Structure 1
Amino acid sequence: MIWVKKLNPALMLLLLLTGCAVGPERTTALDDAAVTAESEARLQEAFSEAVVLMENGDLEEARSRFEKMTAEHPERSGPIANLGLLAMQSGDMELARVRFEQVLALNPKHPVANNHLGVIARNAGDFSLAEKRYREALAANPEYLPALLNLAFLLDIYLGQPAQALPLYEQYKERAEEPDPRVKDWIFDAKNRI
């Protein structure tokens, strides 16, 4: 023990640091999971903040944040889908189409991307593609009401099939918490045309 007292302080620090350096060469799976959970929580928080910015009309800041998320996490479809929605809001349907197709490349069953690609196709006059996209959105999520209403409207107004549209309008009316008030009129009109 006497020899320890005679060691100079620099050597004692070196021994202490060497002892601290000994240990596992990498983190355990549990530690990696904790880091991943923390990263996921931060990403979700950033995503939620960008959605709030979008809802509050701060579109440029929302776009900037979604673009940053997309650059940092290109495997995530949510930020890309919101970039598609922002492109639609600004009237850039070509960019919106590209963004929604990027989403489908990551997640082919994404109901929001399929629905909005249906809207873009309908507006371009490609009614068969619009119908396909709406049906794909509903196949992925039968409760996704925007696609249900869009399909009903397409069948009724654009394809002249009120008999096929009527049950879809009625399903929408039953399921929606706050249905579009125009749906009552569309149901009435569809029944009259049938």
Structure 2
Amino acid sequence: MSAGLDFMSGDSMPYDVNAAFESARLLHEAGQLEQARSVYEHILSIEPAHADTLHLLGVMAHQAGDHRQAIKLIQQAIDAAPRPVPAIYYNNMGSALRAAGRHQDAMIAFSLGIHVDKNYAPGYFNLGVAMSGQGDWEAALQRFSQALDLKPDFADAHYNKAIAEKQLGRPREALASFREVLRLQPGNGLAQHYVALLSGAASERAPDEYVTSIFDGNAEEFDRHLVQQLQYDTPQRLVEMLKQHAKPSSRQWAVLDLGCGTGLVGAAIAPFAHYVVGVDLSPKMLEKARTRGVYARLEQSELQAMMDVEAEVGAVYDVITSADVFIYIGKLDRVFQRARGLLKPGGYFAFSAESLDALPKNDGCGTEDYRLNPSGRYAHAAAYLKRLAGQSGFAVEAMASLPARLEGGQPVQAWLVLCQTM
């Protein structure tokens, strides 16, 4: 313990628990977690039922991902606290329970927080989040509205209210709520994307924040949901297309996997590669990709920014792949140009893109080259992809229209494209 954390005023004086707790709380807020933990634990060695200390140790466990320990410690805090129990205890208990997958228990905890303090806006907000996670959008919308009645500048509540309104088929209300988010947080990429989508404004790509939030939130169940439920096999099809035209011998390729996600493409192409590099925005997706053991290097970055850095080295790859990544990028000119510069002579660029040609004419917003669909994803025209290939120095070796996955039980048509450097 540093000299600044000596709470003894003399050998005969008692330890000042309140001063110690306040110091630990400030350390905790400043991110100095080990120092804070040391003080918290010392407080409990003197006063084992110190409720605020038990509560914040539980919060610390939750922040570290140890949700079971968090639930245990916060429950001890609730048991030890004077009545009425502070609403924030129930709120943080609910967050830990939800993170542990105990959704019904989480809703009970959030409800208890509201019961003890009817003016506690975070309680209504988190109850709404839990309800939306269960698909009860009407009830969730009511809770977000209650949170905003208490705290009108609550940007997260405006955002979640907008999502609920969009889910309920109320685009005007959703657009107004997303615009309120941007008034409070002008740089909010998630709200920017939805405003573009709902207003029909042209946009060239989805913001990084939007893409990261989607994939970080789905990393745990991504492979099972995509492959088993949505019948997704694009990585295997891209590799099969490569094999038919490139005819690789065992482990000959150096590969750059753009938007590698959990590593489905990397796993499919690994038997034909001696070196695979992956790039993705989502740290949680990259954690999953790392466990496959097929990537020599994984980069957390926006793919175009990463390609700009790689371009300083020059043409080092035999193959560049990108499976279901261009659904988040409308304008692909720069991606094609960078891919051409990173490929060795005779190298291959294999990718998929949702098919604009297969969609109704007046569904979504955009240009004849690409369109931002109501799903929040971009679709691309075959003519645009072919034109970009030619302008960037590629020959289109193969192009096929195939169902990429199911959406609402219906197949989503996509282009599978193989280009070779000329």
Same fold (TM over 0.5): yes
> For each residue in 1:81-123, what CA deviation from the matched residue of structure 2 results, as whole angstroms up to 9, or x when unmatched?
1111111122211221111111122137342332222122222
| 1:114-133 alignment runs, 5 A limit | 114-133=90-109
Gaps of 5+ in 2: 1-12, 170-422
Identity, % of aligned pairs? 23
Contact 1:103 1:110 in 2 (8 A): no
Matched, 1:45 2:22: no
TM-score normalised per structure 1 = 0.70
The equivalent position to 1:187 in structure 2, one of 123, 140, 161, is 161
Shift of 1:177: 6.9
RMSD of aligned C-alpha atoms? 2.4
Q: Which of structures 1 and 2 has the bigger CA Rg? A: 1
**1:81 partner amino acid:** H
- TM-score, normalised via structure 2 length: 0.34
Q: 1:64 deviation in Å? A: 0.7
AA partner of residue 171 (structure 1)? Q
In the alignment, which residue of structure 1 is the partner of 2:122?
A: 146
Please give the alpha-carbon distance, in whole angstroms, between the structure 2 residues aligned to 1:144 and 1:174. 11
- The 5 Å alignment of 1:47-62 reads 47-62=21-36
Within the candidate set 65, 69, 89, 2:63 is matched to 89
The answer as to whether partners of 2:87 and 2:114 remain within 8 angstroms in 1 is: yes
User: Unaligned 5+ residue runs, structure 1?
Assistant: 1-37
Distance 1:173 1:51, change over 3 A: same
Closer, same or farther in 2 for the Cα pair 1:60/1:183, shift >3 Å?
same
The partner residue of 1:159 within 134, 148, 157 is 134
**Alignment partner of 1:78 out of 52, 59, 70:** 52
Q: Which whole-Å CA distance do the structure 2 matches of 1:117 and 1:161 have between them? A: 21
2:144/2:161 contact within 8 Å kept: yes
The alignment partner of 1:75 has SS state of: coil
Q: Which SS does the other structure have where 1:147 is aligned?
A: helix
Higher strand share: 2
Matches within 5 A, 1:17-56: 42-56=16-30
In the TM superposition, structure 1's runs of 4+ consecutive aligned residues that sit over 4 Å from their partners are none
